[in-house]
Amino acid sequence: MTTLSPENSLSARLSASFILVKRKPPIDKTEWDGFFDENGQLAKSRDFICVNILERGLHPFVRTEAWKFLTGYYSWQSSRDERLTVDSTKRKNYEALCQMYEKIQPLLENLHRNFTETRNNIIHDIQKLYDKDPLGNVLIDKKRLEKILLLSYVCNTQAEYQQGFHEMVMLFQLMVEHEHEKGKGAGAVQSLFPWFCLCFQRAFKSFDDVWRLWEVLLTGKPCRNFQVLVAYSLLRMVREQVLQESMAGDDILMACNTLVDLDADELISAACLVYAELIQKDVPQPLKDFFL
């Protein structure tokens, strides 16, 4: 069997403890602020913070700032002044991008054969999006979301727009205050399979559960490619139905889509258990390398 590094052994123990111990209160604003020194630099290591996010999660008041570190918008080694510079630069770059888009939009409509179709698909998806909370309050600005998705496509026309991207980007829009803060986040969204993200968003009880899962995936804890173990844990929930009905392909996906009101902590815990079992077994090295 492969000898685990100290970091992997630590992750294994942490994943096991996550299963056995009730989750502690999430990291609140007071504790988060205590992670920084007088210059605004993190006095705690990235590993320490990510492990705590896995085990405990983030309070909603902390999530907006913490996710900027998790998505790479801010460097983990940055000072307060350096982050202010990042904000200023991102804002200017975004404003310049918006101005450029307004100038080249007519050219895109006439010369880029996929632009009009992509824009229509984005508009169609956004119009179907339910944008209100249970009390009827509007949650998002649909025109703003449309603009962000179009700009993302214009910046990288090789990455085709996929159905469901609008719902995933909406998670970031609900969290941040300014449009220019979603650059790194959009990249993180598209790095995972659209069906995987879309299924999870519709399966959970609340946005807080979705954010809870996302922030764990962004930490890279307890292992690389943890989203695969989460997806596997989801599939295990419909295992009996799949076997009884001899399902395959799209039928399995449809069965997963019937799962509703999932609890993020329970799903993360189940995936941590799978990880703990995996590293204790003599599995093929390629599979072990995929996670470890």
**Closest by alpha carbon to 216, among 226, 206, 231?**
226
Residue 181 pLDDT: 56
Alpha-carbon distance of 210 to 231, in angstroms, equals 14
List C-alpha distances in Å: 278 to 45, 236, 275, 290: 27, 15, 5, 11
Helices (H), the chain: 6-20, 29-33, 46-56, 60-70, 80-111, 115-128, 142-155, 165-175, 183-190, 194-203, 207-219, 226-237, 239-244, 250-257, 264-280, 285-291
Say which range, 113-122, 158-167, 229-238, 265-274, has the weakest mean pLDDT: 158-167
Structure tokens at 245: 């009905």
**Closest by alpha carbon to 35, among 68, 72, 8, 62?**
62
Say which range, 55-59, 181-185, 276-280, has the weakest mean pLDDT: 181-185
pLDDT at 2 over 60: no
Alpha-carbon distance of 271 to 277, in angstroms, equals 10
For residues 162 and 194, the answer to whether their CB atoms sit within 8 Å is yes
Model confidence pLDDT, tens digit, residues 197-253? 544 566 777 778 888 988 999 999 998 889 888 888 888 887 787 777 777 767 776
Say which range, 92-106, 110-124, 179-193, 272-286, has the weakest mean pLDDT: 179-193
CB-hemisphere CA count at 13 Å for 278? 26
Alpha-carbon distance of 291 to 48, in angstroms, equals 20
Instruction: Output phi, psi for 246, to 5 deg.
Output: 50, 50
Alpha-carbon distance of 266 to 230, in angstroms, equals 10
Structure tokens at 99: 């101005």
Q: Which residues contact 118 (CB under 8 A, 6 or more apart)?
A: 150, 153, 160, 161
Model confidence pLDDT, tens digit, residues 159-213? 677 766 766 677 676 666 665 557 444 433 333 344 455 445 667 777 788 889 8
Q: How far from the centroid of its chain's Cα atoms is residue 243's Cα?
A: 31
Residue 211 pLDDT: 87
Instruction: Decide: pTM greater than 0.75.
Output: yes
**Extents of the domains making up the chain:** 80-189
Higher pLDDT, 277 or 68: 68
Structure tokens at 53: 């996010």
Q: Is 99 exposed, middle or buried (0-12, 13-18, 19+ CB in 10 A)?
A: exposed
Q: Which residues contact 144 (CB under 8 A, 6 or more apart)?
A: 173, 179
What DSSP line would sit under 198-257, residue for residue?
Answer: HHHHHHBSSHHHHHHHHHHHHHT-SSTTHHHHHHHHHHHHTHHHHHHTT--THHHHHHHH
Mean pLDDT, residues 258-264: 79
Alpha-carbon distance of 152 to 159, in angstroms, equals 9
